Chain A
Amino acid sequence: EDKVVQSPLSLVVHEGDTVTLNCSYEVTNFRSLLWYKQEKKAPTFLFMLTSSGIEKKSGRLSSILDKKELFSILNITATQTGDSAVYLCAVENDYKLSFGAGTTVTVRA
């Protein structure tokens, strides 16, 4: 059975802090790993990772994949209150996505 495990389940930080979110997976026929941000409605796309060791960056967010150890991390630096959301990790295999439980990030002013 495919597994996508995210940790921690939730965390609370103050503005300006850096957060690191983890995602480990066990899936057959891995194709890609995706990160999404979900506020109140549908998830919005952040990153897609297919190759090990290549960091992807978008502003204060970055992510990297380790296909040998089967995990990915998502970093958010200089957090802002607008970063408060649920961050979802999803793994694509056989042309469908399996989601982790998500990490709820709360950024306090």
Chain B
Amino acid sequence: GAVVSQHPSRVICKSGTSVKIECRSLDFQATTMFWYRQFPKQSLMLMATSNEGSKATYEQGVEKDKFLINHASLTLSTLTVTSAHPEDSSFYICSARNRGISYGYTFGSGTRLTVV
């Protein structure tokens, strides 16, 4: 079935450093990928939508210079959290639209980011 591989699953970094999270669609081409953030005991909040070969569309209130999204190929999208701060600590999940499955969306397994 459709699989989205997300790495790393867990990362701890120091304040001020940058962290890159990767999402790969393993057996389908993902023209569109979505990046979500989830704080403890809260729901998934859409951060941005990335389309292969074009600039990402960010949701209101999400800093595009802080959360850099690159979707350079049909199977890979990356989210880079730049100059991370403790308040950026969260669970980040990607999702890819897959026209080959009935419900259209496949989620990665998520990345737990802790900034110390």
Contact = CB atoms under 8 A, between A and B. Distances in A.
A41 B34 contact: no
A95 B107 CA distance: 15
Q: Is the interface of B mostly helix, strand, loop or mixed?
A: strand
19 contacts: A41-B109, A41-B110, A42-B6, A42-B108, A42-B110, A43-B93, A48-B102, A48-B103, A48-B104, A95-B32, A97-B34, A97-B95, A97-B105, A98-B46, A99-B44, A99-B46, A100-B43, A102-B42, A104-B41
Interface of B: 6, 32, 34, 36, 41-46, 49, 93, 95, 97, 102-105, 107-110
Contacts of A45: 103, 105
A96 interface: yes
Nearest to A6: B43
Given A34-B103, A42-B93, A48-B102, A97 B46 contact: yes
A45 B3 CA distance: 13
Nearest to A40: B110
Contacts of B109: 41-42
Contacts of B46: 96-99
Interface size class of A (residues with CB under 8 A): 20 to 34
A42 B105 contact: no
A100 B45 CA distance: 9
A100 B108 CA distance: 19
A105 interface: no
Interface string A70-109: 0000000000000000001010100111111110100000
Contacts of B45: 99
A88 B109 CA distance: 16
Contacts of A34: 103, 105
Given A34-B103, A48-B103, A96 B49 contact: yes
A32 B103 CA distance: 9
Nearest to A104: B41
Contact of B43 (A41, A92, A95, A102): A102
A43 B49 contact: no
